[in-house]
Amino acid sequence: MSLLTVLYVLLFYAAAVIFVVGLGRKIWQFATVPAPLKIPTTPAPTTRGGVALRIAREVALFESLFKSNRWIWVFAVLFHAGLLLVVVRHLRYFTEPVWGVVTLAQPFGIYGGMAMVVGLLGLWARRAVVDRVRYISSPSDHLMLALLVAIGATGLGMKYVLHTDIVQIKAFTLGLLYFDWRPLPGDPLLLLHLGLVALLMIVFPFSKLLHAPGVFFSPSRNMVDNPRETRHVAPWAAPLDAARDR
Amino acid sequence: MMRLTGGLLLVGLALGAVPVSAGDGVPLPTPARGKGTQCVEPTDTMRRYHMDYLLHQRDETVHRGIRGTKYALKDCVECHATPDPRPEVRALTLYGFCKECHDYAAVSIDCFGCHTPVSASSEGGSQ
């Protein structure tokens, strides 16, 4: 096995551990941090079922962004929906035999890749063109967009310009899952693509991309609007309450 | 942060302890071997670019009438057709060659919507 393969195998195992452990810790923190106040953004649902529906709409359709800024919403949907199709297309590298739906979705994954890059470039233009957004943009905002654009561009580059041996790549990725390591083709675009993806996995738990799990824990979105029907007491405040009532 | 570093160290040690050829083995495609020892380009190149050669050749042939160049689907069939693995098909076809990797990578083939994957040499009733 070549040094290159060994390096990438170790890189991906390390990236996977950092991603899973880091994300798990972060989700644990989101789930346990106190939410002392009842602060749903009104108008808000008055039942738990309604709240589930509201979060589902927020996650799937970006409802609040739609209400606040239409053109940003368009680029955001282009990116996220494109990314979803791209992920489905890439499932072919992780399943054997490949699922029927994934086979059918292959061509849509390519359009997804294009939509993803267009959406990202739109969101990046926003950071350069809109004065007040440019003013509050930090280096990490730009670097995250650059990283995602580079991943998309190298992926499309392999599809349209410099091909690589995808059968060998699938053997490599399955090898990671089976602990039976197979050689990685040495094509530069592929190495760049995979390296950037590993980098994305590593920075994910420390970055703004945490909005993905975070949206589910947003108090202004996940609270039921029933402050008069049910008194809201944070778990840490309950003993204080009980002591006062005594 | 300390705990994270400790966890990584542990995983590193565990990885080091796993033998290099552990596991049941990765499923791999097993395309049938063609005739001869060498395709029209080196194997690595063919694996990456055969689709481009065929598509380009299609345009050359259909639009400009250029035939007889290095890349021709007919020649693919001549070298790579093997006895079809399906019992009901008694002919030399590309089934055992193309389909293996194309199924593995979930890439559909549209060559054979129009062209035949059956080798001319199987039509003489040799099967």
Residue A109 has pLDDT above 80, yes or no: yes
- Residue B99 phi, psi dihedral angles, 5° rounding: -65, -35
Q: How far apart are CA A157 and CA B51, in angstroms?
A: 16
Instruction: Mutation target for A interface from B1, B104, B108: give the one with most A CBs within 10 A.
Output: B104
pLDDT tens per residue across span A112-163: 999 999 999 999 999 999 999 999 999 999 999 999 999 999 999 999 999 9
Neighbours of B25 (CB within 10 A): 12
Residue A152 neighbours by CB under 8 Å, 6+ apart? A86, A113, A116, A117, A120
Among B64, B65, B69, smallest CA distance to B54 is for B69
The pTM of the whole model exceeds 0.80: yes
State mean pLDDT over A25-38.
Answer: 92
**Per-residue b/e over A169-202, b at no fewer than 16 CB within 10 Å?**
bbbbbbbbebbbbbebbebebbbbbbbbbbebbb
Q: Is A239 helix (H, G, I), strand (E, B) or coil?
A: helix
CA distance B10 to chain A (A): 11
Composition of chain B by helix, strand, coil, percent to 5: 50, 5, 45
Chain B residues near residue A164 by CB distance under 8 angstroms: 48
Q: How far apart are CA A39 and CA A41, in angstroms?
A: 6
**Helix ranges, B65-94 (H):** 73-80
- Could you count the other beta carbons within 10 Å of the beta carbon of residue A64? 17
| pLDDT tens-digit map of A175-189 | 999 999 999 999 999
**CB-CB neighbours of A78 under 10 Å:** 21
pLDDT-derived band at A102 (thresholds 50, 70, 90) equals very high
| A178/B23 touch (CB, cutoff 8 Å), yes or no | yes
Residue with structure tokens 């290099």?
Answer: B20
CA distance B3 to chain A (A): 10
Q: A1, B28: Cβ pair inside 8 Å?
A: no
Cβ–Cβ below 8 Å for A106 and B11: no
pLDDT of residue A171: 96
Q: How far apart are CA A83 and CA A109, in angstroms?
A: 8
Q: Which residues of B touch A (CB under 8 A)?
A: 4, 7-8, 11-12, 15, 18, 20-29, 44, 47-49, 51-52, 101, 103-108
Would you place residue B123 in the very low, low, confident or very high pLDDT band (cuts 50, 70, 90)?
A: low
DSSP conformational letter for B30: -
Beta-carbon separation of A171 and B8 below 8 A: no
Contact at CB, A180 and B49, closer than 8 angstroms: no
Looking at residue B24, what is its pLDDT? 65
Whether residue B27 and residue A13 make contact (CB cut-off 8 A), yes or no, is: no
Residue B4 has pLDDT above 70, yes or no: no
CB contact under 8 A, A165 and B47: yes
Q: Is the pLDDT of residue B119 over 90?
A: no
Residue pair B32/B94 in contact by the 8 Å Cβ criterion: no
Of B15, B47, B106, the CB nearest to A103: B106
Q: How far is A36 from chain B (nearest CA, A)?
A: 28
Inter-chain CB pairs, A–B, below 8 Å = 69
B82 three-class SS: strand
Q: Which of A166, A169, A182 to mutate to test the interface with B (most CBs of B within 10 A)?
A: A166
pLDDT at B14 over 50: no
Residues 6+ apart with CB under 8 A from A214: A30
Neighbours of A88 (CB within 10 A): 18
More confident position, A35 or A173? A173
pLDDT band at B18 (very low <50, low <70, confident <90, very high): very low
